[in-house]
Structure 1
Amino acid sequence: MLTLDKIYHAAFVLKEVARKTDLIVAPALSGENTVYLKTENLQVTGSFKLRGSYYKISQLTEEEKERGIIACSAGNHAQGVALASQKSNIPCLICMPDGAPISKVEATKQYGAEVCLVKDTYDDAYAKAIEIQKEEGKTLIHPFDDDDVIAGQGTIGLEILDQLADADAVIVPIGGGGLISGVSFAIKSLNPNCKVYGVQAAGAASMYNSVKGGELLTLDSANTFADGIAVKRPGDKTFELISTYVDDIATVSDDEIAAAILALMEKQKLVSEGAGAVSVAAAMFNKFDLHGKKIVCLVSGGNIDVNILNRVITRGLIMSGRRSTLTVALVDKPGQLLGVSEIISHLGGNVIAVHHDSSDPNMDINSCFLRIVMETRDEAQVQQIKTELISAGFHLV
């Protein structure tokens, strides 16, 4: 059973392995509120998951340890379990979805764990782990639906209140729900006036749908690049705790998550994975009714797949109005490109790519489409450029 004493005990056990991560003010992200970042992306293994897995393994009996450990994970829990198992000299097998980032798979192996890749999603990896656990009798370390795991994650709540006692609200990512269950239980037990909000990716809103619907629901699919929170079915324990202790839940789109990753990188010099940035995305895009408050955004992990980082940055630039594409229908004659580029340049835009298409069958023979990619300051500047082009007689498609 989850208790405040258990969370305090977890904090004591974790002193030897987990960092008390910094809580830093982020004025560039603040807007109307004062935003603080709880930097679990700088935790050992690059994620908060070490806390719950290490505490859970520390509480196993000798018999449970001798049977060996099995776990399932999209990546971060895998690394936490692998490190904790290594420190305790316990053999460890991790089932991971085959779409997990290569960097997370390799990091898990480097901590000494054996990895079993399973086709499709986290939920499929979980089913495989249960199958092996029943066949071989290994001890299962669940990534979120376990009181000891939740208690370990709850130590973050203790740290937040110690670092910012007068916090008005804490925004927490949700996948299966273990992190926010522990954090909300700790915070509400010690400061009931502090709001706790949860955030999910819109393409994997299993807990959001469950809480709003009043019953535990399973998604047909989970579609988001935020692999750490791509869970089709949340936990039974976590559903009950979230229904009791969390004030509200919102969702953010993948584009909004990308914009948050870019903002963290550019303005705060912090690398976050998609799952870790959803809390910042919720604050940036005003998903909750907060004005003039002290808000803590929990950046839960920094293990982003470098293979998608460029795409994420590009999408973040587009989302924030920093990169735009215009298609202009022109009469194909000399000087047209010069006229368009002069307007863009005069208004401070920077053309970085031009594509001239005169082969589209839907336009006149003496016409062309001019596709221009440009760097801009924000969406207001994009609209200014569009307005000026239209005023000059150019036709935007």
Structure 2
Amino acid sequence: MAKFYRLPEAPGAAEYLHAVLCSPVYEIVQVTPLQKMKKISARFDNAIFVKREDHHQVHSFKLRGAYTMIAKLTKEQKAHGVVTASAGNHAQGVALSASMLGIKSIIVMPVFTTDLKVDAVREFGGETYLYGNNFDEAKIKAIELSQQKGYHFVPPFDHPEIIAGQGTVAMELLQQDAHLDRVFVPVGGGGLAAGIAVLIKQLMPQIKVVGVESKDSDCLRAALKAGKPVELRRVGLFAEGVAVKRIGKETFRLCEKYLDDLVTVDSDAICSAMKDIFEDIRAVAEPSGALALAGMKKYIHEHNIKEERLAHILSGSNVNFHGLRYVSERCELGEQREALMAVTIPEKRGSFLKFCQALNGRIVTECNYRYSDAENACIFVGVRLTKGLKERASIMMQLINYDYKVIDLSDDEVAKLHVRYMIGGRPSKLLCERLFSFEFPEAPGALLKFLQKLSVYWNISLFHYRSHGTDYGRVLAAFEINNHEPCFEKYFTELGYGWHDEENNQAFRLFLSN
């Protein structure tokens, strides 16, 4: 039987290097391709390469870390089996790794995990245990099972063996192209970024390693600011593969020491990167899988990078098909190829024609309008862009010069996610109402829980639900309420859903309120 080098707690860089070079992962994985993206290379005047971690059996890099840790367990530990908590890629990595090694695996998944994910774990040989309403509750149960039943807990990122397994990605990168200038790595819990950074900095320190976070789950940025891991109040779940509230202790230690830089991007930029990947190499990345490319594009623009060799990690392709609708809607905004505006025009015949003429031949991508005033009409309009932000600003000035009142809604999340689908409805009487946005779990009883908790006390005067293919949907709701009811926000907190006060949202005021 093979003997593996086992890492101590908080290993040094040399120990990590040794562990990566001696990793057992190639018993289960093959070297993934480093593929040139020809279209985007030409567009950005750099040689851009993508590391295809979607080529694994489980369609993500998570298999590397899971197998490395499980393969190095003692004979006694293997006999007891392994347990983990996950509703995503780590779950599949643990299930397949354990199955290949002839070990029992139990994957604790939240009760409302989609059948697609549950079935995938079972197909790879894992036993699923549905428990809790979210990942944190599932993790508590998994640790409880490990303590009660003797199963060995396999964490998703914060363990030296997991980190070393992910570091094999960097070993392959250097073998495939030793002349890279920068490598862009997605950051969730930090396992992949830590593994790649610690290896590259030991072997070829001149290569810059840049971490990329989603703006909605930037736990590493928060930790760097605080000087230690801290917990985010809430995380956005569009890029669910990196939706981590608190970076790991060991992953933070390594990322703080070895990462050269960090960049954050929003959901629209991720959607744009997903489109780029599909158009260039015909791969359908999951949102977290396209995160590194989104960060690379932003970094190139901000630092005016030219004629360099750049690589990014396509970390996974376990995409929810229904989420592609949202991606399709938002990718043009992410690429700065569309502007959304609220424009006030006179309420008289021929006004919209004159407005289109004022655009000087630019393509109108969307227009929403309903009569509400005898003097003026406010239209929600989308305009195709060819030159990005500068053109957006130019259009705004051009319309202002034609004496139109214009408000840019391109960065207004409520406008993009809700208001554009609701235009045409205004209350027939004056209402004293407050507007809030919520993140709802896609789960039986979630809406009922919301209504039972709040509608008993306050009338819901506006409600719009929008799903974009993840385990969570988005809700915009208004309540008839004055501004001095102290109990109101307390009830929101008790609900346990993420929420945000949208009282001053311009799109709501222009199109939906009194």
Segment of structure 1 superposing worse, 208-217 or 111-120: 111-120
Runs of 4 or more, structure 1, over 6 Å off, are: none
Aligned positions of 1:292-371 closer than 5 A: 292=306, 293-342=308-357, 344=359, 347-349=361-363, 351-359=364-372, 363=373, 365-371=374-380
> How far off its partner does 1:385 sit?
4.9
Q: 1:214–1:373: structure 2 CA closer, same or farther, 3 Å change rule?
A: closer
Segment of structure 1 superposing worse, 76-85 or 13-22: 13-22
The answer to whether the 8 A contact 1:40-1:48 is kept is: yes
Matched residue, 1:112: 125
SS at match of 1:368: strand
Matched residue, 1:275: 288
Matched residue, 1:197: 210
Larger RCO (CA under 8 A, 6+ residues apart): 1
For 2:129 and 2:27, how far apart are their aligned partners in 1? 29
For 2:179 and 2:112, how far apart are their aligned partners in 1? 41
> In the TM superposition, what whole-angstrom CA distance separates every residue of 1:267-325 from its partner, at most 9, and x where no partner exists?
44332222222211111112774733322111211112222221123122122233333
Matched residue, 1:55: 68
Segment of structure 1 superposing worse, 216-225 or 165-174: 216-225
Matched residue, 1:210: 223
The answer to whether the 8 A contact 1:70-1:138 is kept is: yes
Q: Which amino acid aligns with 1:260?
A: A
The answer to whether the 8 A contact 1:29-1:284 is kept is: no
The answer to whether the 8 A contact 1:324-1:374 is kept is: yes
For 1:210 and 1:328, how far apart are their aligned partners in 2? 41
> How far off its partner does 1:376 sit?
4.2
- The normalised TM-score by structure 1 is 0.88
Matched residue, 1:85: 98
The answer to whether the 8 A contact 2:213-2:264 is kept is: yes
> How far off its partner does 1:100 sit?
5.4
Matched residue, 1:131: 144
Q: Which runs of 5+ in 1 are unaligned?
A: none
Aligned positions of 1:129-168 closer than 5 A: 129-168=142-181
SS at match of 1:154: helix
Q: 1:101–1:174: structure 2 CA closer, same or farther, 3 Å change rule?
A: farther
For 2:369 and 2:49, how far apart are their aligned partners in 1? 46
Q: 1:86–1:239: structure 2 CA closer, same or farther, 3 Å change rule?
A: same
> In the TM superposition, what whole-angstrom CA distance separates every residue of 1:157-188 from its partner, at most 9, and x where no partner exists?
11000111011221111111111121112211
Matched residue, 1:291: 305
> How far off its partner does 1:342 sit?
4.7
SS at match of 1:256: helix
Aligned positions of 1:229-248 closer than 5 A: 229-248=242-261
Q: Which amino acid aligns with 1:122?
A: F
Aligned pairs, how many? Answer: 389
For 1:190 and 1:93, how far apart are their aligned partners in 2? 37
Measured on the aligned residues, the alpha-carbon RMSD in Å equals: 2.6
SS at match of 2:22: helix
SS at match of 1:371: strand
For 2:305 and 2:106, how far apart are their aligned partners in 1? 47
The answer to whether the 8 A contact 1:68-1:92 is kept is: yes
Q: 1:196–1:340: structure 2 CA closer, same or farther, 3 Å change rule?
A: same
Q: Which runs of 5+ in 2 are unaligned?
A: 1-6, 8-14, 408-514
The answer to whether the 8 A contact 1:38-1:298 is kept is: yes
> In the TM superposition, what whole-angstrom CA distance separates every residue of 1:200-228 from its partner, at most 9, and x where no partner exists?
22222222222332222222322241111
> How far off its partner does 1:103 sit?
3.5
Identity %: 32
- The normalised TM-score by structure 2 is 0.69
Matched residue, 1:28: 39
